[in-house]
Structure 1
Amino acid sequence: ELTQRVRERYSVSELPVLLMTARSQPADIYTGFLAGANDYITKPADALELKYRIRALITLKQSIHDRLRIEAAYLQAQIQPHFLFNTLNSLMVLSEIDTDKMRMLGEAFTSFLRISFDYLNTGEVVQLSHELELVEAYLYIEKERFRDKLEVVWEVEPDIRLLLPPLSIQPLVENAVKHGLLSRTIGGTVRLRVVRVDRGVLVEVSDNGIGIPPETIAHLLNPAMKEKGGIGISNTNRRLIQQYGQGLSIDSKPGKGTAASFVIPMK
């Protein structure tokens, strides 16, 4: 029963479970594996065997942890060609009509590329300012491209010094803009909130776009999901769970919008 509860939050690779039991009948072993256990050992256990089984499972967990971090950095570095082409086209148009705006867009584009390829994205944590710089550059570019179709609201409390997993805010913002707002002809508003709360610091990205169906949310937040779609959201959720024991919270109503949030606990 405990293993089943654990599997509701963690996949078999993210939190391995080793059963140590005196019940060694095949039916008992099968029951343990069906509940989500990775391995088992019968009592009385040999100390050396137990040690090496534990070491193998810890190595598995660490390798998955590393893979998720590298995957997030890889996803950010795989900038979609149409985003590049459209931004370059915007720069070319502005070069003919407004060189000051062209220069500002060029600076934002340079900042976006620099941070997207930064080696810090493969690390455990980064400064909040590093993450917000990437988000700000991305939103500036999209705002220049779509003008009145996209409204951006920032609610970031000053003087918040915080370490958080890299690329944990950008996928939420990008998803809100691309899938929540720009899929509507009239566009909409994306709002970023970073505020202090009792439990730590709340990070919330909301939009008034098309919303997400409940079954899609359940799929994205399922730790055992097969990653076929929405991989940025799923990756972010799993890394947050690994780091803090709790992942994303997504509240959405079709046609009304979506709010995706997480809390970084403060020591």
Structure 2
Amino acid sequence: MTSSKEALEQLEREQWDLVIVDVMMPNMSGYELAQLIRARYTVLELPILLLTARSYLEGVAAGFLAGANDYVTKPVDPLELRARVRSLVEVKQSDEERLRMEAAWLQAQIKPHFFFNTLNSIAILSELDPPRMREQLLQFSTYLQRSFDFQNAQQIVPFAQELELVRSYLAIEQVRFGDKLRVVWKIDEDSDFYLPPLTIQPLVENALVHGLLNRIEGGTLTLSVTHDGDEVEIKVEDDGVGVAEERVKELLAGDRQTRRGVGLFNTDYRLKQRYGKGLQIESGVNRGMTVSFRVPKMQGTK
């Protein structure tokens, strides 16, 4: 690529591990391009390596202030360039692995109240409705199996695997809450695609716990999976209490002290790293909430 405009267009179309930017370019300097990239990606999401003929401190400082991770002076030594590229890419990959492991760890941390409430429901059903008790045990077994599945640390998994986890989770909660929880499934046929693991269940759990169950009468949760050209849109809607519009951005910040919202934050961050765009949230007080994201129709894992 020979221009900043072309570089920005490529960033919109594809996923990249590293950007190497020459400080001296036509129409826009490397510093300006780095600033535009940093407006969208963090230093861990997309590393920037600057090429500069100016090795004095002012030039180096300007590069770092613009958002560069590292720099190489020209004329470039091939061995040094390869070493710095390898180092930056490994840092990015390590951060991606950390996020995947965090998502799997969060899912594996079965919340005590959920665990005990499920066991209580099973105990009650054993007296009142043995067939439903057996069904509940099967759903709970599936939920635990999927929660502890080693594949949760992979980059992408089949949609069917994600759907199985969500169905088990909602089946368990529907036994507990009865008519307070109504679920609507709107899933296009032949939904055979891949997506990052543990991306849908955190959205469903957030809608249930923070939206519907904060209403005495409960409400309806809708999961939609719609094919749109080369993409698939996944949407989780609820008609619960919602949040004020000005608080929507806070939901994606995550509070690592209380762990509140960390599931949404992690999901949004992983989607942005892989596809360049994350969660879309629409909400309002007493207007429920809609959380959606899009993934390409890809086949196979990698």
On whether the aligned pair clears a TM of 0.5, the verdict is yes
How far 1:80 moved relative to its partner? 0.3
Partners of 1:128 and 1:153 in 2: how far apart? 18
User: Where does residue 109 of structure 2 map in the other structure?
Assistant: 78
Partners of 2:230 and 2:245 in 1: how far apart? 27
Which of the residues 272, 278, 283 maps onto 1:241?
A: 272
> 1:138 is matched by which residue type in structure 2?
Y
Which of the residues 261, 274, 277 maps onto 1:230?
A: 261
User: Where does residue 215 of structure 2 map in the other structure?
Assistant: 184
> 1:69 is matched by which residue type in structure 2?
R
1:227/1:234 contact within 8 Å kept: no
How far 1:179 moved relative to its partner? 0.8
Tell which deviates more after alignment, 57-66 or 193-202: 193-202
How far 1:25 moved relative to its partner? 3.7
Please report the TM-score for the alignment, with normalisation by the length of structure 1. 0.93
* Matched residue count: 265
How far 1:205 moved relative to its partner? 0.5
- The residue correspondences of 1:1-267 to structure 2 (distance < 5 A) are 1-221=32-252, 227-228=256-257, 229-266=260-297
2:194/2:297 contact within 8 Å kept: no
Change (3 A) 1:187 1:35: farther
How far 1:187 moved relative to its partner? 1.5
Larger Rg: 2
1:199/1:263 contact within 8 Å kept: no
Identity of aligned residues (%): 51
How far 1:129 moved relative to its partner? 0.7
> 2:87 is matched by which residue type in structure 1?
A
Please report the TM-score for the alignment, with normalisation by the length of structure 2. 0.83
In structure 2, runs of 5+ residues without a counterpart are 1-31
Change (3 A) 1:81 1:61: same
Partners of 2:40 and 2:212 in 1: how far apart? 30
Q: CA RMSD, aligned part only?
A: 1.7
Partners of 1:226 and 1:112 in 2: how far apart? 26
How far 1:215 moved relative to its partner? 4.5
How far 1:49 moved relative to its partner? 1.3
SS of corresponding position for 1:202 = strand
Per-residue CA deviations over 1:147-203 (Å, capped at 9, x if unaligned) read 111111100112111111111111111111111111222221111001111241110
Per-residue CA deviations over 1:118-156 (Å, capped at 9, x if unaligned) read 111111111111100000000011111111111111001
Partners of 2:229 and 2:252 in 1: how far apart? 24
Partners of 1:147 and 1:218 in 2: how far apart? 32
How far 1:30 moved relative to its partner? 2.4
In structure 1, runs of 5+ residues without a counterpart are none
Moved over 6 A (4+): none
